[in-house]
């Protein structure tokens, strides 16, 4: 059970913080809400008190014997600000302690998670972007806002991420006990491929795989929690992507292996990432022809034979990315390998062969014999790096497996 301070500033998205408060409280955490005076014009104090089960802290002059402007930050295991206005970001960047919430921010020595929400023009203004950059350099996790409907008829980047996504990020930060000392990906941009590809056979059927996308999203979520900015190129995943994607993660949707190939090359060329992780389960084969319409029994005549399915190999996207990088030291390139070792063969042997063939810097391998790890909360992975350095992680959460990879890469600066 953690002590969380939930700061709410004066934007229209303050009403969404009510759902965030409920999620955090129902996760078993003790939440003290610190709304600004402007936030209370959108959602009243009784609502915050009723849902948190605690008094609401609103002013440095209330309960002065408890010294709230110091004690709240000192006791907190995590500070979450959602929504955060452009004005709040500016004050936080400069260390201005003009109200209780900014005082709390100065006294906190725990992780700080900020979820901005504002109109597109305000988010994209150079002053706001400079404030965000400096806060991230200090180790604050500042999420990118979503792209969507704003107030009135406006739409664009600036929408508060969904409360469930912010809550998942808060839990990810709380699960990293030494978080303040592990904001070691600040300033790094990471591109991750997630999920599985679907190769169409006709307009109804496709060839796919059992990838759930859980490990890829765990990599994205933990990287964001450690200060990185992340773009995820996402194929088929087990659930609604808007529900399970990490808050603040830029999403590029794809379906087939060829779409993934094109999107990965485009994103890498456009964003110049520091790290590229090929965590997606990319199909090795696809139908040579995709039939328009549906293949029906009637279309096959009276024969009981099944239709012919001719396959061809897909492009090796990981190998292409390595080749395109050439002799440059960046980006660091990470491959994933789902292996089924033969009898008498070790996973490490398979990983060594593959990393040599692919030419990537790191390889994360797991044994998927009998469908192991697909769709599961836990996993067992082998992280193989330069100079044959390797780490075996057995029966760990997928977040812990992700942290093991980032621990290795963070040392490779």
SS3 at position 181: helix
Hey, what are 145's tokens?
């806002």
CA dihedral in degrees (172, 245, 164, 211; nearest 10)?
A: -80
Q: Which of 144, 209, 328, 387 is catalytic?
A: 209
CA dihedral in degrees (151, 154, 158, 163; nearest 10)?
A: 50
Q: Concatenated DSSP letters for 301-347?
A: TT--PPPP--EEEPP-HHHHHHHHHTT---SEEEEEEEE-PPTT--H
Work out the number of other CB atoms within 10 angstroms of the CB of residue 1: 9
Is there a catalytic annotation at residue 328? no
Tell me the CA distances in angstroms from 108 to 61, 148, 170, one per residue in order. 19, 32, 15
State the pairing for strand pair 390-397/378-384: antiparallel
Cα 201 from chain centroid? 32
DSSP 8-state code for residue 144: P
Work out the number of other CB atoms within 10 angstroms of the CB of residue 148: 14
Q: Which residues are tagged catalytic?
A: 209
């Amino acid at each position: 059970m953690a002590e969380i301070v939930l700061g709410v500033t004066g934007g229209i998205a303050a009403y969404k913080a009510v759902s965030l408060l409920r999620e955090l409280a129902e996760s078993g955490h003790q939440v003290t809400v610190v709304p600004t005076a402007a936030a209370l014009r959108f959602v009243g104090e009784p609502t915050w008190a009723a849902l948190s089960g605690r008094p609401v802290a609103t002013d440095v002059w209330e309960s002065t014997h408890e010294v709230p402007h110091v004690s709240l930050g000192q006791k907190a295991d995590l500070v979450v600000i959602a929504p955060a206005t452009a004005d709040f970001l500016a004050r936080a960047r400069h260390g201005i302690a003009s109200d209780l919430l900014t005082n709390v921010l100065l006294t906190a020595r725990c992780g700080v998670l900020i979820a901005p929400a504002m109109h597109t023009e305000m988010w994209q203004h150079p002053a706001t972007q400079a404030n965000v950059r400096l806060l991230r350099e200090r180790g604050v996790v500042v999420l990118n806002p979503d792209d969507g409907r704003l107030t009135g008829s406006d739409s664009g980047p600036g929408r508060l991420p969904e409360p469930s996504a912010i809550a998942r990020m808060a839990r990810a930060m709380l699960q990293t006990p030494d978080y303040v000392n592990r904001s070691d990906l600040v300033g790094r941009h990471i591109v991750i491929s997630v999920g599985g590809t679907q190769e169409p056979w006709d307009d109804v059927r496709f060839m796919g795989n059992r990838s759930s996308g859980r490990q890829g999203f765990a990599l994205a979520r933990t990287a964001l929690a450690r200060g990185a900015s992340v773009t995820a190129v996402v194929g088929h995943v087990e659930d609604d992507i808007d529900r399970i994607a990490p808050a603040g993660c830029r999403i590029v949707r794809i379906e087939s292996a060829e779409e993934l190939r094109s999107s990965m090359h485009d994103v890498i060329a456009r964003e110049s990432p520091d790290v590229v992780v090929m965590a997606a389960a990319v199909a090795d084969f696809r139908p040579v022809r995709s039939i328009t319409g549906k293949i029906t029994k009637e279309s096959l005549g009276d024969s009981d034979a099944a239709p012919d399915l001719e396959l061809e190999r897909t492009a090796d996207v990981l190998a292409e990315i390595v080749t395109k990088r050439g002799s440059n030291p960046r980006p660091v390139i990470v491959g994933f390998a789902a292996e089924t070792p033969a009898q008498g063969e070790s996973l490490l042997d398979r990983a060594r062969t593959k990393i040599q063939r692919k030419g990537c810097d790191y390889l994360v391998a797991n044994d998927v014999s009998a469908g192991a790890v697909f769709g599961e909360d836990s996993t067992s992975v082998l992280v193989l790096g330069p100079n044959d350095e390797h780490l075996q992680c057995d029966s760990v959460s997928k977040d812990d497996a992700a942290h093991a990879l980032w621990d290795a890469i963070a040392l490779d600066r």
